[in-house]
Amino acid sequence: MAIAKDILRILLAFLLGMVLIAFQTILFLDAILLNPISYYEYANTPAYYDKLKEQIDFGLEEVARYTNIPGEVLTGAVTDLEIKDYTQTAVKEMIAYLRGNSQDYSLKYDTTKLKTNIESYAKDYAAQKNQPYNETLTAEVERISSLSGTRIENYTMIIDPALLKQVGADKKIQQVLSKIRLAELGLIVAALVLVLLLWLTNKNHRMRTLWWSGSALLVSSIVLLIPGIVVAFMNVAGRVGLKDSYVTWVLERTIDSMLTKWNLMQALFLIIGILLMVGYLLYRRKQIIKSTSQSKK
């Protein structure tokens, strides 16, 4: 009978470990990977915006050459602060869209300043050529400002929502990510049920539940921590293999940052597991000392 109970406890602890592995993974996905705050750190990094602004200026100059207007007309209408604010908003809106919190990603760059600059140039140009500022020029101003805004949007967003929509991946991603919180709740309930069952199988030693729960958390954390450490030592971020650009800069630092946060999270759970086990050992030691003292009397 005792052997059967031990086997049952081992099985319950194993199942608890599996549930904890799933929970710790989904928790990281929800709290860190899909948290806009995790990416806001780049908003305060001049190196990123220097690279991004350089790329945006290059793109706007291409639009300028294509439409036969001076490049500074477009580049002069875009400031670092505007790009920074738009980037943060775009990240927030994109994550909300992927999570299924919004039905569509419809964020557009505000082209008011671009349109004003282009319109001013077009009016000056028309005046120099003794031409009226007519509907044709007005339409051209709208077209150029729209092209410029689209170019900024394309460079600012690492993930293109239009591409996701074209291949139908957006809805599939939403179907999965929209259920993250529900999955977390389900795993928490499952873990609590398994802990309760462990508690019930330790009728004569209720505190032993701490040992079984702690060991399950210890194992789950080690299982998740080892791959994270291995990947970190492999320097995956440094092997992205792309040319030096703002995209490479973001990918390298995002990978490094996420690996660090992943390892720290698993290390935290590992420590909690160890503390639970140590707590049980201290309790047992106290009980043994107490029992020994009583027997001597």
Domain boundaries, the chain: 2-33+177-282, 44-167
Amino acid letter at 44? N
- Give me the mean pLDDT over the 57-76 stretch: 91
Distance CA 155, CA 60 (A): 11
Report, as an integer, the average pLDDT of 42-68: 84
Confidence of residue 244 (pLDDT cuts 50, 70, 90): low
CB 61, CB 68: distance < 8 Å = no
Q: What is the mean pLDDT of residues 69-97?
A: 88
Question: Residue 2: its pLDDT value, please?
Answer: 66
Q: Is the dihedral of CA 173, 178, 181, 186 positive or negative?
A: negative
Length of the chain: 297
245: exposed, middle or buried (C-beta count within 10 Å: 0-12, 13-18, 19+)?
middle
Residue carrying structure tokens 């044709």: 136
The pLDDT value given to residue 240: 55
Q: Band the pLDDT of 256: cuts 50, 70, 90.
A: confident
Q: Which token pair is 133? A: 């500022």
161 near 170, Cβ under 8 Å?
yes
